[in-house]
Amino acid sequence: MTLTYQQQFVLDGLAARAAILNLNARYDRLFSSGDLAGWLATFRHAGATFTRDGEPAADLRAAFDGGDGQRLVTVDHDITVDGVEATQQCIALLFCDNTLRATGSYTDALVYERGGWYFTSRRLDWDTAARHDVLPV
């Protein structure tokens, strides 16, 4: 059975989205386990960037602060695929000792190369902590 152009386009987009969701899951697991080498492998081989709260990391190795009982979970993925490039926005939840420690959001650019999807840039912006005295009671 031959697919129409539209059917192939939709199928390719769905396959890319599934692969990007798997990349996110791998990124989260590697961060949580403290696996620096594996975490680095989720990024493009050369030229990838990571920015946290507006501060770009000069070296991806210096940006890694995973492990130590922390667990990262990303949810609510909004993924747009355009051929071999994609963008993503998602929510980050950081737990430590089963307590929610921080929330934030990722804004990502991704590329398909060498048979898989990789982050070319990740920007993490942590939410500012709410003050208890301004919360409605």
**pLDDT tens column, 61-115:** 999 999 999 999 999 999 999 999 999 999 999 999 889 999 999 999 999 999 9
Structural domain includes residue 98: yes
Query: Does 133 fall in a domain?
Result: no
Going by pLDDT thresholds of 50, 70 and 90, the confidence category of residue 130 is: low
Examine residue 132 and state whether it is found in any structural domain, yes or no. no
Residue 137 placed within a domain: no
The residue segments making up the domain with residue 67 are 5-127
Percentage of residues in the chain having pLDDT higher than 70: 93
pLDDT classification of 12: cutoffs 50, 70, 90? confident
Q: Return the percentage of the chain with pLDDT > 90, whole number.
A: 79
68 within domain boundaries = yes
pLDDT over threshold 80, residue 3: yes
Do the domain assignments include residue 111? yes
* Radius of gyration over every alpha carbon of the chain, rounded to an integer in angstroms: 17
Number of domains in the chain: 1
Region of residue 98 (phi > 0: left; psi between -120 and 50: alpha; otherwise: beta): left
What's the pLDDT at 5?
87
User: Would you state the structure tokens that stand for residue 41, as one six-digit string?
Assistant: 């492998």
Decide if 99 contacts 61 (C-beta within 8 A): no
Q: What is the pLDDT of residue 137?
A: 42
The CATH number linked to 105 is 3.10.450.50
DSSP H or E stretch at residue 109: strand 99-113
**Average pLDDT of the chain, as a whole number:** 91
Show the tokens assigned to 49. Answer: 């960037």
Position 48 in a domain: yes
Is residue 136 assigned to a domain? no
pLDDT at 135 over 50: no
